[in-house]
Amino acid sequence: MTSLSDRARRIAGGRRETWLVPLLVVLGLLYPWYEETLQSLPLIGDFVPSTESMVVMIALTMMAVGLNVVVGYAGLLDLGYVAFYAVGAYTAGWFASQQFDQVTFHFFSSVPNDQPGIHISMWLVLVVAGLLTLFAGILIGLPTLRLRGDYLAIVTLGFGEIVPQVVRNGDNFGGFDLTHGAFGIAPIDAVGIPALGVIGLPENFQTSPNRALWYYVVAFLLLLFTVFCSVRLRDSRLGRAWIAIREDETAAAAMGVPLMRTKTWSYAIGAFFGGVAGAYYASFRGGAFPADFYFQISVFLLCMVILGGIGSIWGVLAGGMILSYLDREGLATIGSKLQDAGIDFEPTKYNAGIYGVLIVAMMLFRPAGLIPERRHKIELEEGVHDTPFYDVTTEGTLTDRDPSDD
Amino acid sequence: MSEPNNLVVATQVRKEFGGLVATDDIDFTIPRGAIVSLIGPNGAGKTTFFNQLTGVYKPTSGSIVFDGTEVTYLPPHAITKLGIGRTFQNIRLFSQMSAIENVQVGMHCRLHSGILGSIVRTRKVKREEAESRDRARELLIYCGLPRRHEERSGSLPYGDQRRLEVARALGTNPKLLLLDEPTAGMNPQETAEFTSFVSKVRDDRGLTVLLIEHDMKVVMGVSERITVLEYGAKIAEGTPAEIRTNERVIEAYLGRGATE
C-alpha cells in the first residue's frame, strides 16, 4: 500500500513540476513589468513587494538555497553561514572599489578608467567571490567538520562570529588597511554591461534609470543558476553520498564514502553560493559594512530553510521568499495597516519574536516544512538510525561503542 | 608480510575500551577464496574484530594486512576501496533512499563523476549514472530482489532489507565480503536459502567471505574454517569437524548438545 501511494505521489510530483517550473521562471523573470499592475490591485496591492525589495529577497533566498546544501542535503548544522556572506561581500569590496587606491587597475569595469583602486568587472568579481568563499569554506570546514551535531553547530557559530570581527578590526594589518574597519567598504562598483551599452543596455546598473529592474533580472538569473546547480548536485553521485551521510554516517563510511571530503564539499559548495549572493548584494547596496554580518543573519537563513522544508528546494525557495519578504516589507505593511485600523502595534519592532513564533508554530503543526522533501518528512516521522561514529582521526572511547553491536 | 594465499593476515590485534579488552592479541588469517566463520558467545569480540578490519575502530596494537596492504590505520572508506565490503548486524540501510540508490551509494568509490561534470551532466556522467543503475539492478536481482527497486528501502520487508544490505556491500565490488549475523531474524527457510546463496556468491564472484553467525547449521554447513572467540581471545580454530569436537568450544559456546 505504501509503495503504491509513494509511487503515485512521486508521479504526481513529477507532473506538477514539469509545467510549474517554466511557468514560474517566466512569471518570475517578468515580475518588474507587471509589478505596478499588481500593486494597483485592491486589497492585496499594498502587500506586493517592490522590485527593489525583490532584489534583496532573492539575494537572501539564494543564500538560503546555498545553506540548504549544507544543512538539508548533508545534514550538517551550520550556524555561521553569515561568514560566507561576509567573505563574498568583502571580495566585491576588494576587487571592485577604491579600497586599494595605492594601485589603479581596471578590467572591463563599470566606472571611469581613471578611478584609483582595483576595478574588475563585477561579473568576474561574482566568480572570484564564489571561488574565494569556496576556499574559505574548505579552510573553515577542514578543522570543524570532524565534529558532529551540536558540537559542529557551536564551532560554526564561532566562525560566524570570528569572520565579522576580523572584518571589523581589519583596518590595520601591520599598517595595511584590508577592510576599512567599522566604516566598511563603499562604494562598491555596479554591475553593468559595458560592451553592449550602445544598444540600450545599461553600462552601469546603479546609475541606470531602471536600476532595480536590471538588478532584479540578474539576481533572478543568479537564483535560477543556484537552484539548477543545487538540484543537479542533489541527484548526482555526490548528492547521494551527502544524503547517505545524513542518514547514517557509519554505514556511509563503510560503503566507501569519504566522510571528510564529502562533508567539506557540501560546506564549500554551500559557501560558494553564499559568496556569490553576498558579492551581488554588496554591489546592489553599494557597499560592504561590518554591521551587516551579525549572527541573526545566520539564524534568519536557517529559519528560511526550516520554515520551507529542510532539504527541499521548493520549500527553501518558498521559505526564503516569505521570511525575507516579511522582513523587508511585509511586517511594515502590516504595521501600517494596523495603524490605519487604529491598532497601535508595530510588528517590525517584534520581528525576531514573530519569526520565532512562526518557527515554533511550524514545528508544532508541520515539522517537515511548508513544502517538505520526501525523505526528510519520513525521517522526521520515523526517526533516523544513526549512532555516533567516532572520528577516524582520533582514538575511540567507551562511549563510541554501540552496545547493540556485540 | 602477507603470504600470497592469504587475503587477510591479522597479527596480535588488540583493542581496549578503557579497562576492557575487547580483542586480546588475536592472530587471524583468511585464505583467499575461503568461507571463514567467526563464532563465539555474545560479547566475545566478534563485531569488534569486524570493526577493526573495516577501519571503524582502530586497534590499540597489532596489525592487519589486507591483500598485501597494511590497513590497520586506514579510514573505513579507504579500506572499502581496497576491497572489503560489509553488512551490519543491526541493519543499517539508508532507509529513506530507494533500494537502487542504496546500492549506488555502495558503488560510490568505484564511480568517478565529479562536481562540475554532475552540474553540466556531461555525456560521460550520464553514461556512468545509467550504467551504475543497470548494475545496481542486476545486483539486486542477483541477491534475490527482483522487484521494488525504486521503493524506499526502509519500507521493504525484513528479509529483503538483509538481502539489500548484501547487494549494497557487493556494490563496493569487494574481494572480501564480511557478513555480520546475516541470518539473524530469518525463518528456517530463508536461512537455508541464504546459506546456499553465500556459497553461490563466493563461487560466482571469486570472493572470500568472513561470516559472523550464531546459527550453527549455517556455520557448519557453509564454512571451510571456523575461528572461535571467547572473552576477546581466540580459543580454537579449525575445520567444522574439528570445532564440533573441540572440548573448549563445547564448554564455552556450543554446549553438550552439539556433540550428539
Give the pLDDT score at B166: 94
**Does A243 sit within 8 Å of B94, measured CB to CB?**
yes
**Does residue A397 or residue B115 have the better pLDDT?**
B115
Of B89, B118, B155, the CB nearest to A232: B118
Beta bridge partners of A398: none
Which residues of B fall within a CB distance of 8 Å from A252? 94, 105
On whether the CB atoms of residues B137 and B46 are closer than 8 A, the answer is no
Give the pLDDT score at A380: 62
Would you tell me which CATH number, out of the four given (3.20.20.70, 3.30.2130.10, 3.40.30.10, 3.40.50.300), belongs to the domain B1-83+174-260? Answer: 3.40.50.300
**Does A269 sit within 8 Å of B155, measured CB to CB?**
no
**Does B17 sit within 8 Å of A401, measured CB to CB?**
yes
DSSP per residue, A120-147? E-HHHHHHHHHHHHHHHHHHHHHHHTTS
Average pLDDT for runs of 10 along chain A of length 406:
47 59 92 90 88 95 97 93 95 92 87 88 94 95 88 92 90 86 90 72 84 94 96 94 93 94 95 96 93 90 93 94 94 91 88 90 88 72 50 39 45
Give the pLDDT score at A381: 62
Q: Which residue has the cell 561514529?
A: A389
The minimum CA-CA distance between B210 and chain A, rounded to whole Å, is 16
Give the pLDDT score at A197: 58
**Is B52 near chain A, with CB under 8 Å?**
no
Give the pLDDT score at A393: 37
Alpha helix ranges (H) inside A309-388: 313-325, 331-340, 351-365, 374-382
**Does A247 sit within 8 Å of B86, measured CB to CB?**
no
Give the pLDDT score at B88: 92
DSSP label at residue A309: -
Cell of A28: 518570475
Half-sphere exposure of A376 (CA within 13 A, CB side): 25
Label residue B81 left, alpha or beta by phi (over 0 means left) and psi (-120 to 50 means alpha). alpha
Which residue in chain A has the smallest CA separation from B78? A256
What Cα–Cα distance (Å) separates residue A232 from each residue in A162, A239, B51, B82? 32, 8, 35, 29
Q: How confident is the model at residue B97 (pLDDT cuts 50, 70, 90)?
A: very high
Residues in CB range of A365: below 8 A, 6 or more apart? none
Which residue in chain A has the smallest CA separation from B98? A375
**Is B168 near chain A, with CB under 8 Å?**
yes
* Position B248 pLDDT exceeds 80: yes
Nearest C-alpha neighbor of B201 from the set B226, B171, B225, B181: B171
The minimum CA-CA distance between A372 and chain B, rounded to whole Å, is 14
On whether the CB atoms of residues B38 and B229 are closer than 8 A, the answer is yes
Of A233, A241, A251, the CB nearest to B88: A251
Predicted confidence (pLDDT) per residue in B196-226, tens digit: 999 999 999 999 999 999 888 889 989 999 9
Of B96, B111, B118, the CB nearest to A378: B96
DSSP label at residue A272: H
What's the pTM value of the predicted model, to 2 decimals? 0.88
**Is B80 near chain A, with CB under 8 Å?**
yes
Nearest C-alpha neighbor of A252 from the set B65, B98, B56: B56
Please give the interface size between A and B, counted as residue pairs whose CB atoms are below 8 Å apart: 146
Predicted confidence (pLDDT) per residue in B175-189, tens digit: 999 999 998 888 899
Residue A143 burial by CB count (10 A; 0-12/13-18/19+): exposed, middle or buried? exposed
What Cα–Cα distance (Å) separates residue A102 from each residue in A98, A109, A115, A117, B221? 9, 17, 11, 7, 82
DSSP label at residue A178: S
What is the phi/psi pair of residue A256, to 5°?
Answer: 95, 15
The minimum CA-CA distance between B233 and chain A, rounded to whole Å, is 15
Cα angle for residues B148, B154, B157 (degrees, 5° grid): 60
Distance in Å from the first CA to the final CA of chain B: 42
Domain edges within chain B? 1-83+174-260, 95-171
Alpha helix ranges (H) inside A96-210: 122-144, 149-168
Give the pLDDT score at B12: 93
> In 10 A of CB B247, how many CB atoms?
9
What is chain B's mean pLDDT, rounded? Answer: 90
Mutation for testing the A interface, residue in B108, B133, B135 having most A CBs under 10 Å: B108
Give the pLDDT score at A14: 47
For chain B, percent of residues with pLDDT exceeding 90: 65
On whether the CB atoms of residues B73 and B13 are closer than 8 A, the answer is no
Residues in CB range of A364: below 8 A, 6 or more apart? none
Enter the ipTM: 0.91
3-state helix, strand, coil in chain A (%, to 5): 65, 5, 30
**Does B115 sit within 8 Å of A238, measured CB to CB?**
yes
Cα–Cα dist B104/A48, whole Å:
46
Predicted confidence (pLDDT) per residue in A189-231, tens digit: 888 887 665 677 788 888 888 889 999 999 999 999 999 999 9
Three state DSSP letters for B22-73: EEEEEEEEEECCCEEEEECCCCCCHHHHHHHHCCCCCCCEEEEEECCEECCC
Half-sphere exposure of A263 (CA within 13 A, CB side): 25
3-state helix, strand, coil in chain B (%, to 5): 45, 25, 30
Domain edges within chain A? 1-48, 51-194+201-294
Cell of A245: 551521510
**Does A254 sit within 8 Å of B76, measured CB to CB?**
yes
Which residues of B fall within a CB distance of 8 Å from A404? 89-90
Give the pLDDT score at A12: 44
Cα–Cα dist A91/A109, whole Å:
15
Which residue in chain B has the smallest CA separation from A378? B96
- The strand pair at B233-238 and B225-230 is best described as antiparallel
Distance in Å from the first CA to the final CA of chain A: 35
Mutation for testing the B interface, residue in A5, A235, A237, A402 having most B CBs under 10 Å: A237
What single letter denotes the amino acid at residue A66?
G
On whether the CB atoms of residues B107 and B135 are closer than 8 A, the answer is yes
* Position B3 pLDDT exceeds 60: no
Predicted confidence (pLDDT) per residue in A371-400, tens digit: 888 776 666 665 554 444 443 334 433 334
